[in-house]
Structure 1
Amino acid sequence: MVFVVLSPLLQQWFKISDKKMIMAGVTVVGVAGLIPMFVSNYPVILLSRLLLGAGFGLYNSQCISMISVWYDGDVQSQMLGWRAAAEQIGQAFCLWVAGLFLTFSGNWHMPFLVYALAFIVLVFFAWRVPDDSAVQREAADEAKEAETAVEDNGVTKISPLVYVLVLFAFVLCIDYVGLENRYSGLAVAIKGAQYTGASNFLSLMLIGATLGGLFYGTIHKYLGFGTVYLGLGLMALANFMIGLAGHNFWILTAGLLMVGFPLQLVSPMIFDLLPGLAPAKNQPMATSLVLIGFNFGAAFSPTVAEWTNRLLGKPLSGFDLAAPFPYYGALLVIIAIIIFVSRRSSTKR
């Protein structure tokens, strides 16, 4: 999270192109990720995890903002959806590969070899992606201020709506990660302490999220901004199903499998809106702020869920683990209504 914020600033200070910043981040990920293969010292391993996070933070926002700068219209929407789908596929694939390394070696060091994939990505990225640097764009902007105003659609500074989207991202991630974290406990409450199949359904949840990313471009092409209402509606329904499932395992699981798809309809839409809310040279910063919203939502999701249980007077065990989700669902419905009313009001003006 720290380096998601620092990355655009470092890029400006050192005048590093988008491509070089991404390559630097991927290099840090590859090196830091492989360190636990060769050491058993816990402080060193912990430090390598911190460096790994810094590497991800260095390039996370650029990978999204480059799409906003290079593409527009339906192509931009499709690319943002594909990026979201690739994220889910990459997560599932790397977990699977790491598991294979552990299974065949029997050595806990070996799963970290999966980070060697970073260097394959690095070579392919260096070979195929042009160096259309932010520095070059900024120089062109300074030379042609009039053209810049047209290219940026008249946007001269970061809109306050960006901070609303940051809060929106925070709420979405609290909900999604909360469902992911508490499903296993709820499944065990229904099936019994011997049940070990929850991980299979959590993997299928990733597949649903992947499909949401793949189909986002097509759905957005036909529904436009209505994609947000569809996504929020389906996420709210998933929360109600989980919250009210009771002893019904299949309703609980259907809610879990449903939630990934709409999340990847709404989250690309958030990034899709950013080009109209910030100038091109500030796209990495705007993207970084939204990513911070997602990251903070993931980090504080267990805490918010615990607070909700305590406010409701519910214990943190058994079926009461589902207590927060009907309220999360209601909050998503309220957000959808607020967005709808706000857009109608602004249209009438």
Structure 2
Amino acid sequence: MKKDLLLKISILSASLVVVSGGAIAANIPAMAKTFADVPLQTVEMLSTIPSLFIIISVLMSNLFARYLGYKRTILIGIAIVLVSGIIPALIGNFWIILVSRALFGFGVGMFNSLLVAIISHFYEGDERAAMIGYQSAFEGLSGMFMTFAVGQLLKVHWQTSFWVYLIALPVFILFLLFVPNVAYDEIGKEKPADGEMKSSAFQKNSEPALSKRDFLGYIVLLVIAVIIYMSIAVKGTTLMTTLGYGDATDGSNILALIGVGAMSAGFLFGKVYRITRTYTLPISFSVMSVGMFLIASSNSVLQTSIAAVVCGFSFRTFLPYLFNKVSTSSAGNAAYRTSLILVGFNIGAAFSPYGIVVLERLFQVTSVRGIFYIEAAILLGLAVFRFVVNLRKPRENAQIAAAE
């Protein structure tokens, strides 16, 4: 029991650094003053360049795991995050800092997608679903903690704030000591070498195989959902200030509440999934649609705050469901498909402002509330579509229920 708990903690701890790249965004104004001879747009890249290199290394992580094994690949990724993360705290050269931020993103991408594969290898059924939910919760918890810590350390100096990345050191130690070696060909096929932890037993417990067409459909849904989800961050504060019922501080608090909803969803995902099963996706979209409608119709900070929690909770219920779905129905392609999911997520997040502009022009939105009404309608349409798809596949649903 103790070894199992240490294994869970060690795997989940790696998620603490997954979304920490954007935590230093608050440093940009101070860094812009220090590097006054560097264009502001280039300084701003310090908070965005990790995402680009995450996409690159995520696509390569499966190849690394094939030759190095999962544990070594993840440890190397965490080590890169640790070293590159604290370089700006030690060195004041802008271009070295920029390279270190790129390496930081590359390090995160090396192990991000592999964590889901590791979870799928050691756990099965409801326990696996719960662990994937916990992973999402740990990411949300880390994002909130790291952002707060950076804000406090920033009072000393912007370089001091980069010491927050020392959190990767205990993560590295835990993963090194308590996670067994996992070779590439062991994932989904055999038990770990020590024989004490459970294998995912794909042949016995997996869902019916997920076709390429269905998987592509999930990627499209993910990109759309991410663009809509990110619109709260992009347009939320503008909505509140334009309508006169909130200010920039309220907008910042709304973003924090989204994190609260997301974190809660992660911790509760296992319980929610046991109830909703194959209808998790349409229910998530339906609830998120309600949240977007509440934002669109809001005239108070309270209503917008409630809506933010609802949207955070529903989106972070959908995302672990997608990871769990792919990990249990893709057999040998699970790690690769998980990588593609993360690529889709980062693409949706990176291009969300442009996606919002496309929606505004496509539907000729003329009011500040309009985009949220449109997004609520789109989510409701997607929810209905997925309900219909589920109802048209009763045999497959029966097989899934039997497997679970």
- Superposition TM-score tier, normalisation by shorter sequence: 0.7 to 0.9
- Where in structure 2 are the equivalents of 1:115-126 lying within 5 Å? 115-126=165-176
Q: Alpha carbons of 1:152 and 1:21: their partners in 2 closer, same or farther (altered >3 Å)?
A: farther
2:261·2:308 contact (CA, 8 Å) conserved in 1? no
What is residue 299 of structure 1 aligned with on the other side?
Answer: 350
1:172·1:294 contact (CA, 8 Å) conserved in 2? no
What is residue 344 of structure 1 aligned with on the other side?
Answer: 391
Q: Does 1:243 align with 2:296?
A: yes
Q: Does 1:333 align with 2:380?
A: yes
Q: Secondary structure at the match of 1:108?
A: coil
What is residue 289 of structure 1 aligned with on the other side?
Answer: 340
Q: Does 1:201 align with 2:254?
A: yes
Q: Does 1:2 align with 2:56?
A: yes
Identity %: 26
1:159·1:278 contact (CA, 8 Å) conserved in 2? no
Q: Does 1:53 align with 2:105?
A: yes
CA displacement at 1:312 relative to structure 2 = 4.2
Amino acid at match of 1:123: I
Structure 2 residue aligned with 1:127, among 158, 174, 177? Answer: 177
Amino acid at match of 2:105: G
Q: Alpha carbons of 1:264 and 1:139: their partners in 2 closer, same or farther (altered >3 Å)?
A: closer
- Where in structure 2 are the equivalents of 1:143-292 lying within 5 Å? 150=203, 153=206, 159-191=212-244, 195-245=248-298, 247-279=299-331, 281-292=332-343
1:232·1:332 contact (CA, 8 Å) conserved in 2? yes
> Cα deviation per residue 1:221-242 (whole Å; 9 max; x = unaligned)?
1222232232111100111112
| Structural RMSD (CA) | 2.5
What is residue 144 of structure 1 aligned with on the other side?
Answer: none
TM-score if structure 2 supplies the norm length?
0.76
Q: Alpha carbons of 1:218 and 1:149: their partners in 2 closer, same or farther (altered >3 Å)?
A: closer
Structure 2 residue aligned with 1:98, among 146, 150, 156? Answer: 150
Q: Alpha carbons of 1:195 and 1:170: their partners in 2 closer, same or farther (altered >3 Å)?
A: closer
What is residue 82 of structure 1 aligned with on the other side?
Answer: 134
Range with greater deviation from structure 2 (76-85 or 228-237): 228-237
Amino acid at match of 1:4: V
CA displacement at 1:34 relative to structure 2 = 1.1
Query: What is the aligned residue count?
Result: 333
Q: Alpha carbons of 1:139 and 1:218: their partners in 2 closer, same or farther (altered >3 Å)?
A: closer
Range with greater deviation from structure 2 (39-48 or 254-263): 39-48
Q: Secondary structure at the match of 2:351?
A: helix
1:161·1:277 contact (CA, 8 Å) conserved in 2? no
Amino acid at match of 2:170: I
Amino acid at match of 2:61: S
What is residue 63 of structure 1 aligned with on the other side?
Answer: 115
Q: Alpha carbons of 1:197 and 1:248: their partners in 2 closer, same or farther (altered >3 Å)?
A: closer
Range with greater deviation from structure 2 (36-45 or 264-273): 36-45
Using CA pairs under 8 Å that are at least 6 residues apart, name the structure with larger relative contact order, 1 or 2. 1
2:132·2:320 contact (CA, 8 Å) conserved in 1? yes
1:162·1:290 contact (CA, 8 Å) conserved in 2? no
Distance across 1 between alignment mates of 2:101 and 2:369: 32
CA displacement at 1:138 relative to structure 2 = 8.6
> Cα deviation per residue 1:259-297 (whole Å; 9 max; x = unaligned)?
101111111111111134311x32210110111111111
Distance across 2 between alignment mates of 1:155 and 1:331: 29
- Where in structure 2 are the equivalents of 1:28-47 lying within 5 Å? 28-47=80-99
Q: Secondary structure at the match of 1:130?
A: coil
Q: Secondary structure at the match of 1:225?
A: helix
What is residue 145 of structure 1 aligned with on the other side?
Answer: none
1:212·1:262 contact (CA, 8 Å) conserved in 2? yes
Distance across 2 between alignment mates of 1:108 and 1:85: 28
Q: Alpha carbons of 1:322 and 1:113: their partners in 2 closer, same or farther (altered >3 Å)?
A: farther
What is residue 22 of structure 2 aligned with on the other side?
Answer: none
Structure 2 residue aligned with 1:110, among 140, 155, 160? Answer: 160
Q: Alpha carbons of 1:17 and 1:96: their partners in 2 closer, same or farther (altered >3 Å)?
A: same
Distance across 1 between alignment mates of 2:153 and 2:113: 30
Q: Alpha carbons of 1:271 and 1:29: their partners in 2 closer, same or farther (altered >3 Å)?
A: same
TM-score if structure 1 supplies the norm length?
0.87
1:162·1:277 contact (CA, 8 Å) conserved in 2? no
Unaligned runs of 5+ residues in structure 1 are 142-147
2:227·2:355 contact (CA, 8 Å) conserved in 1? yes
2:150·2:161 contact (CA, 8 Å) conserved in 1? yes
Q: Secondary structure at the match of 1:309?
A: helix
> Cα deviation per residue 1:20-53 (whole Å; 9 max; x = unaligned)?
1111111111111112112333222222111111
